[in-house]
Amino acid sequence: MTQFVQALILGLMIGGVYALLASGLTLIFGVMDVINVAQGALIILSAFITWALWKEMGIDPLLGALITTPAMFVIGWVIYRLTIQWISGRPASTSVLLTFALALVLEGIMGLVWSTTYHSSTPGYVDESFRAGGFYFPKAQLFGCAMAIGVLAALYMMLTRTWLGRAIRAVSENVSSARLVGVNARKVAALTFAIGVATTGAGGSIASVLYPFLPGSHYQWISRLLGIIVLGGMGSLPGALVGALVLGVAETMTVTYISPRWATMVPYAVIMVVLLARPQGIMGAKLREDVVV
């Protein structure tokens, strides 16, 4: 029982971090029908930047998010302007091919700059834990999770309380109607993509502490994130939170009770089961598709 609760605690904390990482992917898909497969590579990029800042300048990896978030925002905006904006209106599978291409380029660049060996940000508290009620709360996980939830809350407020957020939601509902009421859909799409990529800033900084990473780790991340947003309902932010918690717990439970070797299988199993049994996911609504928008 203790083992179960401990696994649950760890799973939920990891799930909080996953939620932040998946939020950008689901936001981008919801607004522009783009499956950004490069999101995993962007997380690793942010992790490398965090690592470099920590190694060279001694900046705490979690505080590094203050630098990586704006940096990733700019990178996202540039990527959108250079590539994504030219495929708007083409099927989602085109976006998969294009962003996969970007992921490969990023993987190659990171390999050249930082080499293809495992890296890890290890600040002093990484091996320390709080103890409460007989359970361990590893400091890195706890700080990471708290920070992730803070950033997610800020993102949620931005989407629900600001004019930009309303415009983003309008475009995600119906592009042509949003245009008609005066929303500059292209600008909104660029900002959404940049914001979506900016979430990998804080997310990658946290991930650099929690997991060792190398350029090729992005496959693992993107499959995990796809599993999460498929489970939660693609395009749904609350869905991503629920999906992330479920996946985090499912992974720790697999590690605890089956074998770490099969933990990598969890996201794929989730993807297959959900897409086949309930394609709209947990929080996704099934809307009519016959009406031309």
Q: How far is the CB of 265 from other proteins (least distance, A)?
A: 5
Q: Which of 58, 182, 290, 293 binds other proteins (CB under 8 A)?
A: 290
d(Cα 92, Cα 273) in Å, to the nearest integer? 21
Q: Contact with other proteins (CB under 8 A): which of 189, 230, 245, 246?
A: 230
Spatial CB neighbours of 77, under 8 Å, sequence gap ≥ 6: 190, 191, 193, 194, 197
Closest CB 289 distance from other proteins, rounded Å: 9
The label of the residue with tokens 């897409």 reads 275
Please tell me whether residue 286 binds other proteins under the rule CB under 8 A: yes
Name which of 137 and 219 has its Cβ closer to other proteins. 219
Nearer to other proteins, 162 or 177 (CB): 177
Give exposure, 52-84, as e/b (b: 16+ Cβ within 10 Å): bbbeeeebbbbebbebbbebbbebbbebbeeeb
- Applying CB under 8 A, the span of 83-91, 130-138, 143-151, 201-209 interacting with other proteins comes to 83-91
Interacting residues with other proteins between 127 and 186 (CB under 8 A): none
| Residue 107 binds other proteins (CB under 8 A) | yes
* Smallest separation (angstroms) from other proteins to the CB of 117: 13
- Binding letters toward other proteins, positions 5-34, x by CB under 8 A: ------------------------x---x-
93 near other proteins, rule: CB under 8 A = yes
Q: Which residues contact 58 (CB under 8 A, 6 or more apart)?
A: none
Single residue of 97, 154, 157, 158 touching other proteins by CB under 8 A: 97
Residue 264 dihedral angles phi and psi, to the nearest 5°: -65, -20
What is the distance between the alpha carbons of residues 260 and 250, in angstroms, rounded to a whole number?
12
> Is 118 among the residues that bind other proteins (CB under 8 A)?
no
- Would you give the distance in Å from CA 158 to the centre of its chain? 17
167, 226, 241, 250: residue in contact with other proteins (rule CB under 8 A): 226
Question: Which amino acid would we find at residue 210?
Answer: L
Stretches 104-112, 170-178, 195-203, 246-254: which one binds other proteins (CB under 8 A)?
Answer: 104-112
- Which is nearest to 245 in space by CA: 4, 19, 47? 19
Query: Three-class SS string for 189-249?
Result: HHHHHHHHHHHHHHHHHHHHHHCCECHHHHHHHHHHHHHHHHHHCCCCHHHHHHHHHHHHH
223 contributes a contact to other proteins by CB under 8 A: yes
Among 108, 153, 157, 174, binds other proteins (CB under 8 A): 108
Phi-psi category of residue 248: left, alpha or beta, with phi > 0 → left and psi -120 to 50 → alpha:
alpha
Contact footprint for other proteins (CB under 8 A): 29, 33, 35, 83, 86-87, 90-94, 96-98, 100-109, 111-112, 116, 215, 219, 223, 226, 230, 234, 261-262, 264-265, 267-269, 271-272, 275-276, 279, 285-288, 290, 292
